Chain A
Amino acid sequence: MSKNNIIIYGLILVFGIGAPFLFPAYKLQISILWILTILALTWDIQGGQMGYNSFGNILFFGIGMYVCSSVQIGMFFPLSEWTASGGEKTFLHTTSQYFEGFTYGLILAGIIPAIVAALIGYGILGLRGHYFAICTLGIGIAAGEIAGGIELIGAGQGMTVPPWPKGIGGTELRSQFFYYLCFLTVSITFLVIKWIYQTRFGLVLNAIRDNEDKAEAMGIHTMRYKIIGWVVSAFFLGIAGGLMGNMIGYIEPTEIAFAGSTYGVFMVLMAILGGKGTLWGPVIGAAVFHIFKEGFWTFFLGWQYVALGALIIVIVIFFPEGIMGWLREKYPHRFGEVVDEADRTAQVELT
């Protein structure tokens, strides 16, 4: 690891750990930044590295959210009574019940979406290009509508997540707890993805993006790799969903869980803004996007989506390769690319 890298990781670590104390009022927003980073990072496994633009990754986020809180509730109380419209009874988790439920919930929130990804992936990862994109888009939308019809999880009414136990600490402790969990999750996600990209697996993903038929011809079982890639995405997305549901405290099928029109779009946007197909791109994209959104949107009361539209146009025109892509083009040396100046000028003259 080079000296620069150590400084960067160190700074991020210091910021990550120190933020709740430096900016106590902004814990929730920084927690959401970490969640957004997970969304962008996991999307980029398909969209960037593998060349499969998935618009349905929100599916795993939503499933994770529902699975986590269903487990949290269902382990101790009848789920149908909890979500029953009106909910005449009040159930309260004890402190130990809360954390026990949350632990199992979060684990399953990772595993179940991963299994779903493997099953669906087996079915649809044979599709390519636009067909895959449209298919995933449909799956994402359908999931919200289906969840909106399942009475057990509250249907269109949505479901409330168990509240933080009364016994220990107040809201301060709660937001710190979730903050550090989010930071831990994003760190693990980042490291796992970084490791994946360094292995042969990462090369295979890129081979699939660059020329899937050739990769196949070289004896790579591309389908297997595509599925595993999606499973990895789904696993971390599911956990992110479980965390998000608990942080917000209320789950609603189409706006919070399977929020295709917000988080579903944001994850693609962030990855592209930062530079898809790079490790750091989604991270930078998420940070820039979130700061833009939180910092400036409130000043455009009612016009924020127009501002977002303008941002997208700016990205597409000036940074078609994203921030990382732009930097790479401008400072190729920093990325370990050697440019033969004479050859480059010759090329430019040719075109």
Chain B
Amino acid sequence: MRNFKLSIALLSGLLLVFSSLAFAKVEGDTITLGAAVSLTGKYSTNGKNTKNGYELAIKRINEMGGVKVGGKSYKFKIVYYDDESNGGRAAQLAERLIKQDGIKYMLGPYSSGITKAIAPVTEENKIPMVEANGASRSLFTKGYKYLFAVLSAANQYLEVAIDLAVERNGGKGVRIAMAFEQDAFSQDVKIGVVEAAKRTGSEIVIDDNLPKELNDMAATLAKVKALKPDVLVVSGHTKGALTAIRQLADMRVNVPMLAMTHCDAGKLSKQHGEKAEYALCAAQWHKSLTYKDNFFGNGMDYDRDYTAEYGSPPPYQSAESSAALLVWKDAFERANSFDTEKVRDALAKTNMQTFYGNIKFSDTGQNIAKPMVLFQVRCDGGKCTNKVVAPTKWASTKIVHPIPSWSQR
């Protein structure tokens, strides 16, 4: 009998949990969007940045009159789940948002890998998703119809750096050392670098794959010390950037050019001070760029408002996340409807400028209107800042190359 009672208790427990009410996508004057972001796990920092970006944009849009559809004003709201930096979990949560919470409009998670895990779910359920943090090129070659990315594809991240190195070398090919984390995003960055190397006749002398949760890359750096390449390329999200800077300084490795991703979010210049100087960082956005919109003004305004709200300047992950909400608002108003198909079609026709950059989607949902920027960490009396050095159209400073050796720094 005890077993029997226990199973009854379990079953009723199941019932209780499963009977929690589902809520609708548009209720009263609220449009509810769904998002799974990484609040714990290895992407927690950037997941938080993503969430902050979403929140700031929502607050701003709602304050400034909300979204006007059919002559009525609606407010945005987001239902969040924590995907624990895990793709499998994220895919389940996407399904949960759609099936149980009745979400009809999705925002992206943080990181390419997790976006790749969620995209099949949204696609299958025909739920449009505007994502701001999945740059992997393979997202745009699957023929997805409901995926829209406001950022440039991952393979474009460090191509600029290789071009720059070749340019500084008088147009001749360079010797490249590269170290990439084993994840969807970094592997895509690698594709771009390999292609750029082929195009410019450069030689890849070190090609290391680094484990996830990157805490040590001494082996790679020892090789760099021995082989003396012209440029060292590292991509391993924030942890990778921090590890590279720390160990380059510890081991006193001299390399003429160091190009990385995620230096902005890593707050390299803050955490490592002058050790981080001269690092080149690929970024989707920089506050000194002169794009603007009606909600946030220009990059500087966004920087100021974000800092006032969260106490630290915005990394580009926050900026692009905010831009995603501006895209949603614009699409809703142009569609003038809540029908997912109509909204999807409106999203596909997006052509706008935001403080973050121009946004126009290709047939595959990739933003083709915005280039990547490259900045260099520069220090002046202990205070380090990021200066845009490429592409030259936006450049505020001239690049320092080669990087002075440690003995001269």
Residues of A within 8 A of B (CB): 4, 7-8, 11-12, 15, 23-29, 32, 85-88, 90, 145, 148-149, 155-158, 160, 163-164, 171, 174, 244, 248-250, 252-256, 259, 262, 280, 284, 287-288, 291, 294-295, 297-298, 301-302, 304-305, 327, 331, 334
Q: How far is the CB of A174 from chain B (nearest CB, A)?
A: 7
Q: Which residues of B contact A295 (CB under 8 A)?
A: 16-17
Q: Who on chain A is nearest to B4 by CB?
A: A4
Partner of B86, one of A28, A171, A259: A259
In the complex, the answer to whether B95 meets A291 with C-beta atoms within 8 Å is: no
Chain A minimum-CB-distance residue to B39: A302
Q: Using an 8 Å CB-CB cutoff, how does the interface string of B1-45 with A read, 1 for contact, 0 for none?
A: 111101110110110111000100000000000000001100010
Among candidates B4, B10, B100, B187, residue contacting A157 with C-beta atoms closer than 8 Å: B187
In the assembled complex, B143 has its CB within 8 A of some CB on chain A: yes
Contacting residues, chain B, for A252 (C-beta < 8 A)? 87-88, 113, 116-117, 184
Residues of B within 8 A of A160 (CB): 116, 120, 142
**3 tightest A-B contacts by CB?**
A156-B182, A249-B120, A302-B39
For the residues of A in contact with B, the DSSP-based class is: helix
A25-B100, A157-B138, A301-B82 known; A334-B1 Cβ under 8 A: yes
B17 adjacent to A302 (CB under 8 Å): no
The reply to whether B92 and A28 contact each other, CB–CB distance below 8 Å, is: yes
Mask of B84-121 contacts with A, CB within 8 angstroms, 1/0: 11111101100110011000000000000100110011
- Contact, CB under 8 Å: B209 / A149: yes
CB distance from A173 to the nearest CB of B (A): 11
Partner-A contacts on B (CB < 8 A) = 1-4, 6-8, 10-11, 13-14, 16-18, 22, 39-40, 44, 80-82, 84-89, 91-92, 95-96, 99-100, 113, 116-117, 120-121, 124-125, 136-138, 141-143, 155, 181-184, 186-188, 191, 209, 211-212
Verify B40–A256 contact, CB threshold 8 A: no
Q: Are B2 and A163 in contact (CB under 8 A)?
A: no
Find chain A residues with CB under 8 A from B18 CB: 23, 26, 29
* A-side contacts of B40, CB under 8 Å: 302, 304-305
Contact across chains for A259 and B88 when beta carbons are under 8 A apart: yes
A-B contact pairs, 7 of them (CB 8 A): A25-B100, A26-B99, A32-B92, A250-B117, A256-B86, A291-B13, A331-B2
B44 to chain A, nearest CB (A): 8
Nearest CB in chain B: distance from A300 CB, A: 9
Instruction: For the complex, give the distance between the alpha carbons of A252 and B40 in Å.
Output: 19
Residue of B8, B22, B87, B100 touching A255 (CB-CB under 8 A): B87
B14, A334: Cβ atoms closer than 8 Å: no
Given contacts A90-B141, A148-B182, A334-B2, whether A156 and B209 have CB atoms under 8 Å apart is yes
Complex CA gap A298/B80 in Å reads 9
Q: Which residues does chain A contribute within 8 Å of B1, judged by CB atoms?
A: 4, 334
Closest CB-CB distance, B88 to chain A, in whole Å? Answer: 4
CB distance from B186 to the nearest CB of A (A): 7
Complex: A288 Cα to B14 Cα, angstroms: 9
* Bound form: Cα–Cα A140–B80 in Å: 32
Q: What residue of chain B has the Cβ atom nearest to residue A331's Cβ?
A: B2
| A27: chain B residues within 8 A (beta carbon) | 99
CB < 8 Å neighbour of B138 from A7, A85, A262, A291: A85
Report how far A225 CA is from B117 CA in the complex, Å: 39
Q: Which residues of A contact B10 (CB under 8 A)?
A: 284, 287-288, 291
Known: A25-B100, A148-B182, A158-B113. A7 touches B120 (CB 8 A): no
Question: Of all chain B residues, which has the CB nearest A263?
Answer: B88
A27 and B100 CA atoms in complex are apart in Å by 10
Contact partner of B6 (CB less than 8 A), chosen from A29, A244, A262, A284, is A284
Residues of chain A contacted by B39 (CB below 8 angstroms): 301-302
- Known contacts A8-B7, A295-B17, A304-B82; 11 further A-B pairs (Cβ under 8 A): A11-B11, A24-B99, A28-B96, A90-B141, A244-B88, A249-B120, A252-B113, A255-B88, A256-B88, A291-B10, A331-B2
> Do B125 and A248 touch across chains, with their CB atoms under 8 A apart?
no
Q: Whole-angstrom distance between the alpha carbons of A254 and B213 in the complex?
A: 11
Q: Are B3 and A156 in contact (CB under 8 A)?
A: no
- Out of B82, B96, B142, B211, name the residue touching A145 (CB < 8 Å): B211
A252 to chain B, nearest CB (A): 5
Bound CA–CA A68/B13 (angstroms): 34
- Measured CB to CB, the closest approach of chain A to B141, in angstroms, equals 5
- The one of A32, A174, A256, A288 in contact with B117, judged by C-beta atoms closer than 8 angstroms, is A256
Pairwise interchain contact B3-A294, C-beta atoms closer than 8 A: no
Report the nearest B residue to A262, measured CB to CB: B86
CA gap between A327 and B81 in the complex, in Å: 35
Q: A163-B120, A250-B116, A262-B89 are in contact. Are A28 and B99 (CB under 8 A)?
A: yes
Q: B88 contacts A90, CB within 8 Å?
A: no
Known: A86-B141, A295-B17. A158 touches B186 (CB 8 A): no
Contacts of A297 in B (CB 8 A): 82
Measured CA separation A25–B17 after assembly (Å): 12
